[in-house]
Every structure is written in structure tokens, then in C-alpha cells.
Chains A and B, each alone.
Chain A
Amino acid sequence: MRPVSPRSRRERQLALVLGLPLLLLLTVPLVGLVFYAGPSALAAGLAHPATTQALVLSLATSLAALLVIIALGTPLAWWLARGGRGTGIVETLVDLPVVLPPAVLGLALLLVLGREGMLGKLFGLELAFTPAAVVLVQVVVAAPFYVQSATAAFRALDPEQLAVARTLGARPAKVFLRIALPLARGGLFAGALLAWARALGEFGATLLFAGNFPGTTQTLPIAIYTALEVDPHAAQAMAMVLLVTALTLLVSVRLLRGSPRVAR
């Protein structure tokens, strides 16, 4: 840390004052949720049968999505990090789901992979409104976060270290597993946690493509939406469960990013 002069301290204070309304807007609703629902709601929420069902489905589908994302996203990120022809376009395509409204994604999935959709009809897919559809949606919305983070981690590797490993008789697969993967693992892990959080919170596209069927496609966010009209307390309790989960994930990401192993 450089020493801070009084003038630059005043500038920083002014910037904070100007930014304060936004900070409040971001935090006050969540603090309010905790205040209204109370810590006891967390326990009650976890005990509620509807919550457990939705929570189990959410965890199972989001973890399945995460596995798919890591298995397919890691090679894609490696390819993107090596640079070369076409990587710019592919990176834009990968980022697209981040900026697209989930409703658009859900509709697109339905049009292509739904029972009456282009590929759905062609292959006789019975995908829509099944847990597999939930996983598929989560892969689409969450994969960009993993691929972005993994690409950045692979790009930060020293190409000379990878080259030396090759000259030591190691084939590319060994170089990847023994040098690239251990050195990039902080970024991969942080990306995986962000992707998992995004998959866990997915709502709009899931509702369109997978529907709202308790036990099969009703994930926790959708269960909150459903419970809101009939049982507001249950909704609050489920919201608390998601809030605590998200907060835990975010803190983990920060700790991982801050560790010297990641910073190199």
C-alpha cells in the first residue's frame, strides 16, 4: 500500500459518498430479508418438506450441470487461451448467455430442443419439462462464468514453462495435467464456484424450458416464486437458504482469488 495523501483521501471519501446510494440499494434489501425472515427462518426453511424437495433438486441439477461445464468447458477454455484464428468470435459467443435475458434463452431452447422444436422433432427428444432440461438450462446460463475464468487462468500461464516441460519429454497431455492444471487451479476453482452459484440461482429460462413441476423441475428459485402466494414464510425461508449459499460461495471465490497461489 502506498502512503495516502490527505488530498487523495478526500477524493476517495467523495467517491464513496457518491457511490453510497448504490451500495445501499445493493445491500439493504438483503439485510431486510434477513431481518424479516430472521435466522430461525433458515432452520425452519430447511425443515420444510417443500424446501427440502426443491433444495435437493436444485443441488442435484446444479452439481450435474457443474460437472458438464467443467468437463466440456476446460478444453474450450484451453483452446481459447492458446489464441489464434476464431478465438475472438468464439469468446463472444460464449459470453452471449451472460448478457441475454434468461427468457430469451429459455424460449430459444424450447424452439430448438423442445418436443416440437427443430432438433427435438428430428431426434424425438422428450427433454423439455424434465430434470435433464433443468440441467441443460443451467449449463447454458452458467458455463460462460467458468469458461471466462478458466480462460483467464490458462492465459496467465507462462508459455515458456509449458515449453520447457515439452523439451523434458512430456507429451502435451502430461504438460497439461502436471503443469498447466495445478498452476491454473485457483482460477478454475473460482470459475467453478461462480458457475455453480449462477446455476443454483437460475430461474427464468428454467421456468420456460423446464416448467414448474414439484419434484422434477421445481428448483429452489422457482419454489420461492410459487410459495410466495400461498406461504410467504416458506418463501422467505427458502430465500434465506439461497442467500446463505450464495454468500458462502462468493466468500470462497474471494478467498481463492486472494491466495498467493492464484496471484503467482
Chain B
Amino acid sequence: MSAPPQANATLPRLSVTLALHRGQPINGPDADAGGFALDVSFTIGDGPTFLRGPNGAGKTTLLRAILGLEPLDHGRVVLGSRTLVDTARAIDLPPEARDIGWVPQGAALFPHLSALGNVAFAAPLVDAMAVLAQVGAAHLAHRSARVLSGGERQRVALARALVRRPSLLLLDEPLSALDPAARAGLRTLLAGLLPSLAIPSLVVTHDAADIAALGGPILELDNGRLAPS
């Protein structure tokens, strides 16, 4: 997991400027009675950055837009030296070419596969096993994804997101649905892991304790816009 250190550590690693809108109410946590618009611009560096805001603010939609899962009205996302999308230059990499690790809310493990099968979906078995061990889930390798607890699911999903050594990590409320013990365990894991990855990570969370434990800048999203920091 050790990438060579950047020549300039303060270089913005992820730069996002994008706008999108939806005319109709959508499913999921961002569901709203009327239309919805997202219009944001920010840059973040290596290590964790937090994305905070009320339900329906557009946090999940923002992550999905960065991943290439939501069509943009216009905008530009640059990750390191790679342009992922630039509507002005008609660049739009598909999700499979963006090199981003994603842990959606609820983990979204592939239920028909084992924990190891989930991580090895897109990587060699040895790598999958190593990353499972790294997140403290080696003992779960051969368990079916269906029978894992909430905390175990998050760990396996984290391993799956990391196994291809992505250039960016997006975590959507990784701790919110967990009981206190599992939450504390995963928080400790993330606090050790995220700064060591040498990539930017964007963590959606509501919890001040999580932010205090992990440490990092905060982006405040409300009604599709970032609050001035």
C-alpha cells in the first residue's frame, strides 16, 4: 500500500467542480418531493476529508457523481494527474476506468459470494487475502456475505474497495449503522489505515466523534451546495 511520496505533499489530489440536477424525485436517502440540484466545487489532499450535511443534502449523489454513476450537467473532476470527467472537453471515463474505491452505505456486498469472493471479484486471490488480513477480516474469508454482521460487512467492503489500490477512497457513512463495539473497532481501524494510504479519502459521516477520532478537513454540504469554510 506504500505509494512513493509525492514531490509536493500539498498538491491537491482531487479537484471537483460539478453541477447536476434531477427533475424528478429519486430513490434512496436523497429522495425529495421535488427536483434536486447539486452544484459544488472543492479540492482535497491526501488523507481523510469529511463530508457532512443533513439528509437529502446530496452527499451520496456527490459520491456517485465522482464515481461516474450520475450524469453531470457540466463539470470537471481531476484525480491526481488524470482527468476523470470534463464536460467541456467531452471526457467522461466510465466507472470501471476511474480507479476509485467505494464503500456504499450498507456495504452492498455481493450476496452470492464469500467474503473472499467479494474482495477477489476484481483482484488476484493472494491480494484479496492480504487486504482482508489488513482490515482484520482474514478469519471471515470463507464465510458467505449473507451471514456477516454489520461491522464485518463494512470491513469486507473496505477490503474490496482497497484491493485494487485505488487513487481515491469514498466511504459513505461507514460507521453509522453499527453497534457501539463494532463502531469503535472500525473507527480505530480507519484511524490507522486512512492516513497511511497516501491517497485522498472522502468520508460521509454525521458523527462528530468519528471526525475527532480520524481527524481531517470538513466539507459541509447543504441542499446541494457547500457551505463556505
Q: Once the chains are docked, how many angstroms separate the CA of A160 from the CA of B106?
A: 10
Given contacts A163-B95, A168-B121, 4 further A-B contacts (CB under 8 A): A165-B121, A167-B95, A167-B98, A168-B96
Chain B interface residues (CB < 8 Å from chain A): 64, 67, 69, 94-98, 100-102, 104, 106, 108-112, 121-122, 160, 164
A170 CB within 8 Å of chain B: yes
The 8 A CB mask of A234-264 against B (1 = contact, 0 = none) is 0000000000000000000000000001001
Q: Which of A131-139, A175-183, A213-221 contacts B (4 or more CB under 8 A)?
A: A175-183
User: What A residues does B109 contact at CB under 8 A?
Assistant: 161
User: What B residues does A2 contact at CB under 8 A?
Assistant: none
Contact partner of A167 (CB less than 8 A), chosen from B101, B110, B112, is B101
User: What A residues does B112 contact at CB under 8 A?
Assistant: 182-183, 261
Q: Would you list the 6 A-B pairs with minimal beta carbon distance, nearest first?
A: A168-B122, A166-B95, A160-B108, A167-B102, A161-B108, A169-B96
Contact partner of B94 (CB less than 8 A), chosen from A161, A166, A179, A182, is A166
Residue contact A167 to B96, C-beta cutoff 8 Å: yes
Closest residue on chain A to residue B117 by CB atoms? A178
Contact partner of B122 (CB less than 8 A), chosen from A160, A161, A170, A182, is A170
User: What A residues does B160 contact at CB under 8 A?
Assistant: 164, 168
Q: Looking at the assembled complex, report how far the CB atom of A59 sits from the nearest CB atom of chain B, in whole angstroms.
A: 32
Known contacts: A169-B122, A170-B122. The answer to whether A164 contacts B108 by CB under 8 A is yes
A158 CB within 8 Å of chain B: yes
Chain A interface residues (CB < 8 Å from chain B): 158, 160-161, 163-171, 178-179, 182-183, 261, 264
User: What B residues does A178 contact at CB under 8 A?
Assistant: 121
Residue contact B96 to A183, C-beta cutoff 8 Å: no
Closest residue on chain B to residue A165 by CB atoms? B121
Known contacts: A166-B95, A166-B96. The answer to whether A264 contacts B111 by CB under 8 A is yes
- 29 pairs, CB–CB < 8 Å, chain A vs chain B: A160-B104, A160-B106, A161-B108, A161-B110, A163-B64, A163-B95, A163-B108, A164-B102, A164-B110, A164-B160, A165-B110, A166-B69, A166-B95, A166-B96, A167-B67, A167-B98, A167-B100, A168-B96, A168-B164, A169-B96, A169-B97, A169-B122, A169-B164, A170-B122, A171-B94, A171-B96, A178-B121, A183-B110, A183-B111
Q: Once the chains are docked, how many angstroms separate the CA of A166 from the CA of B121?
A: 11
Q: Once the chains are docked, how many angstroms separate the CA of A260 from the CA of B109?
A: 17
Q: Looking at the assembled complex, report how far the CB atom of A157 sits from the nearest CB atom of chain B, in whole angstroms.
A: 10
Closest residue on chain A to residue B109 by CB atoms? A161
Q: Once the chains are docked, how many angstroms separate the CA of A164 from the CA of B105?
A: 11
User: What B residues does A167 contact at CB under 8 A?
Assistant: 67, 69, 95-96, 98, 100-102
User: What A residues does B101 contact at CB under 8 A?
Assistant: 167
Q: Once the chains are docked, how many angstroms separate the CA of A168 from the CA of B101?
A: 7
Q: Looking at the assembled complex, report how far the CB atom of A160 sits from the nearest CB atom of chain B, in whole angstroms.
A: 4
Which interface residue of A158, A164, A166, A183 has the most chain B CB atoms within 10 A? A164
Closest residue on chain B to residue A171 by CB atoms? B96
Q: Once the chains are docked, how many angstroms separate the CA of A161 from the CA of B121?
A: 12
Closest residue on chain B to residue A168 by CB atoms? B122
Q: Looking at the assembled complex, report how far the CB atom of B147 sits from the nearest CB atom of chain A, in whole angstroms.
A: 12
Known contacts: A163-B67, A167-B95, A169-B96. The answer to whether A179 contacts B110 by CB under 8 A is yes
Q: Once the chains are docked, how many angstroms separate the CA of A178 from the CA of B121?
A: 9
Closest residue on chain B to residue A179 by CB atoms? B110
User: What B residues does A166 contact at CB under 8 A?
Assistant: 69, 94-96
Closest residue on chain A to residue B97 by CB atoms? A169
Q: Looking at the assembled complex, report how far the CB atom of A214 sits from the nearest CB atom of chain B, in whole angstroms.
A: 47
Q: Looking at the assembled complex, report how far the CB atom of A262 sits from the nearest CB atom of chain B, in whole angstroms.
A: 11
User: What A residues does B97 contact at CB under 8 A?
Assistant: 169
